[in-house]
């Protein structure tokens, strides 16, 4: 587990560094105005991605999906990666063509398309672990290669690079189709296959809808800064938020490595998630301590308000650590038997977030947006911890031992 955790986390950190390097390149080439546009684009990009892969991982992880016929659904599901990948590429391409953020968006489109399609081949060939590493590898290194290309050619139009990237995707499609057709469940008729694909999406609604709300609503705080603040404030906030993702990647890598255990405990309402919560807290604390000096140097490389960015980053770090002290109950909520409670908790957290932002934006400005992000994390983590405590399942790192069932 430690080896896979280290590999996935290392690749995710490199992927995060790709975003940070993108900010530097965009700043040097186009200025802070373009960084602000990039921040808004990433909101649109994340939304398109979540919609495209709606529920793709739910069948594979959620124990509640293993009902009668679950194996057949999972077998057909691996072939659905092709359709999911095409929907993702098409949706993001439309976003690029219909918005003013397509320049920076190139850095995000290529890794999703190339790495996603290769990972789909591996999933169809029953190699899910290798597929995860491949996907993370693509997300990590392909953006860096693209940015090196941009720096080396200098004057090459972004449109040419976009067209080239999609040409590569279409070249890969025949190879992907070959792998998909070797799926043992591919001989099922197209009507049934499409019906199962729709059933998979319907099954995933209680889990994916909160994710969509998080992307659409939680990340809409950038629009608040865009409307009421300046481009430089938005660029400073986005730079701090992008750097803070290094800490989030660490926590996510820990959770992903033990996600089957989390799903089992949550679905069966028995066991303990204390050790997982403690590990996530330790990783977050260590990365936060290492991040502060790195952030001070990084913020000096781009044309933003370094003081504002550092203070926003510190608010995010402190808030993240406070949330981690309540454990990983929120992550487990998506696998509980009554998933409507997970949706209700996310909605409550988002309401608290925006009440905080709108109440304190006038006196505190951008800091209110960061505080709203912190309030969302703290409120949802605390309520989730209370929920699991009532079920006698300890999720907080410092839970009493006698609670363990």
Give pLDDT tens digits along the chain (405 positions): 445 555 555 555 555 555 666 666 666 666 666 666 666 666 666 665 566 555 444 444 444 334 334 444 444 444 455 555 555 555 655 655 565 545 545 555 555 555 655 665 565 555 656 666 666 666 656 655 655 665 555 555 555 555 555 555 555 555 555 555 555 445 555 566 666 666 666 766 776 677 777 766 666 777 777 778 777 888 888 888 878 877 777 777 677 667 777 878 887 778 888 888 888 888 888 888 888 888 888 888 877 888 998 999 999 999 989 988 998 888 888 777 777 888 889 889 989 998 999 899 888 888 888 899 899 999 999 999 999 888 888 888 875 544 444
Measured between alpha carbons, how far is 133 from 61 in angstroms, rounded to an integer?
17
Residue 49 near residue 219, CB atoms below 8 Å: no
Rounded distance, CA 405 to CA 398, Å?
16
Query: DSSP letters of 219-234?
Result: GGHHHHHHHHS-HHHH
* 95: nearest Cα among 168, 51, 139, 45: 45
CB 357 within 8 A of CB 218: no
- Neighbour count for residue 327 (Cβ, 10 Å): 29
The pLDDT assigned to 314 comes to 93
CA angle 130–136–138, rounded 5-degree value:
100
How many other C-beta atoms can be found within 10 angstroms of the C-beta atom of residue 68? Answer: 7
Distance, CA of 288 to CA of 295 (rounded, Å): 10
Residue 216 CB contacts under 8 Å (≥ 6 apart), including other chains: 47
Q: How many C-beta neighbours within 10 Å does residue 397 have?
A: 20
| Residue 232 confidence (pLDDT) | 81
- Rounded distance, CA 122 to CA 265, Å? 28
- Total-model pTM: 0.67
Dist CA 365 CA 43 (whole Å):
21
What whole-number distance in Å separates Cα of residue 39 and Cα of residue 14? Answer: 19
Question: What pLDDT is attached to residue 365?
Answer: 85
Alpha-carbon distance of 298 to 243, in angstroms, equals 9
**Token reading at 87:** 């929907």
- Start-to-end Cα distance in the chain: 25
Residue-level pLDDT at 81:
53
Residue corresponding to tokens 């696998």: 335
CA dist 245 and 19 (Å) reads 10
Contact 251, 281 (CB under 8 A): no
CA distances from 124 to 51, 76, 117 (A): 21, 9, 11
The predicted pLDDT at position 111 comes to: 54
Which residues neighbour 23 within 8 Å (Cβ) at sequence distance 6 or greater?
Answer: 35, 38, 238, 239, 242, 302
Taking the C-alpha atoms of residue 379 and residue 323, their distance in angstroms, rounded to an integer, is 8
């Amino acid at each position: 587990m430690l080896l896979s955790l280290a590999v996935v986390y290392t690749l995710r950190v490199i992927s995060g560094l790709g975003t940070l390097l993108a900010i530097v390149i965009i700043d040097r080439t186009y200025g802070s105005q373009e960084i602000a546009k990039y921040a808004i684009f990433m909101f649109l990009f994340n939304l398109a991605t979540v919609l495209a892969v709606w529920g793709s991982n739910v069948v594979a992880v959620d124990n509640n999906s293993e009902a009668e016929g679950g194996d057949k659904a999972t077998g057909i599901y691996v072939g659905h990666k092709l359709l999911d990948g095409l929907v993702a590429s098409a949706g993001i391409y439309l976003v690029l063509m219909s918005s003013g953020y397509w320049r920076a968006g190139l850095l995000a489109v290529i890794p999703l398309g190339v790495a996603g399609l290769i990972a789909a081949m591996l999933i169809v060939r029953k190699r899910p672990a290798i597929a995860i590493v491949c996907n993370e590898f693509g997300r990590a290194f392909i953006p860096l290669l693209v940015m090196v290309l941009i720096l080396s050619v200098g004057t090459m139009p972004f449109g040419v690079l976009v067209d080239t990237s999609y040409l590569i995707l279409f070249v890969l499609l025949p190879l992907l189709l070959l792998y998909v057709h070797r799926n043992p469940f591919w001989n099922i008729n197209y009507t049934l296959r499409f019906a199962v694909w729709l059933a998979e999406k319907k099954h995933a609604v209680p889990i994916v809808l909160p994710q969509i709300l998080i992307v659409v609503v939680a990340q809409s705080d950038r629009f608040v800064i865009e409307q009421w603040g300046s481009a430089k404030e938005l660029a400073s906030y986005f730079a701090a938020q992008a750097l803070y993702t290094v800490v989030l990647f660490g926590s996510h890598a820990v959770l992903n490595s033990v996600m089957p255990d989390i799903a089992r405990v949550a679905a069966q309402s028995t066991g303990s998630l204390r050790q997982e919560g403690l590990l996530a807290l330790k990783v977050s604390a260590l990365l936060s301590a290492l991040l502060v000096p790195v952030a001070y140097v990084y913020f000096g490389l781009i044309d933003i308000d370094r003081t504002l960015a550092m203070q926003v980053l510190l608010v995010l770090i402190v808030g993240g650590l406070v949330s981690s002290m309540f454990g990983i109950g929120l992550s487990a909520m998506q696998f509980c038997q009554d998933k409507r409670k997970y949706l209700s908790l996310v909605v409550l957290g988002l309401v608290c977030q925006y009440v905080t932002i709108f109440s304190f934006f006038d006196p505190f400005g951008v800091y209110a947006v960061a505080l709203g992000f912190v309030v969302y994390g703290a409120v949802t983590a605390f309520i989730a911890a209370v929920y699991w405590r009532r079920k006698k399942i300890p999720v907080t790192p410092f839970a009493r031992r006698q609670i363990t069932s």
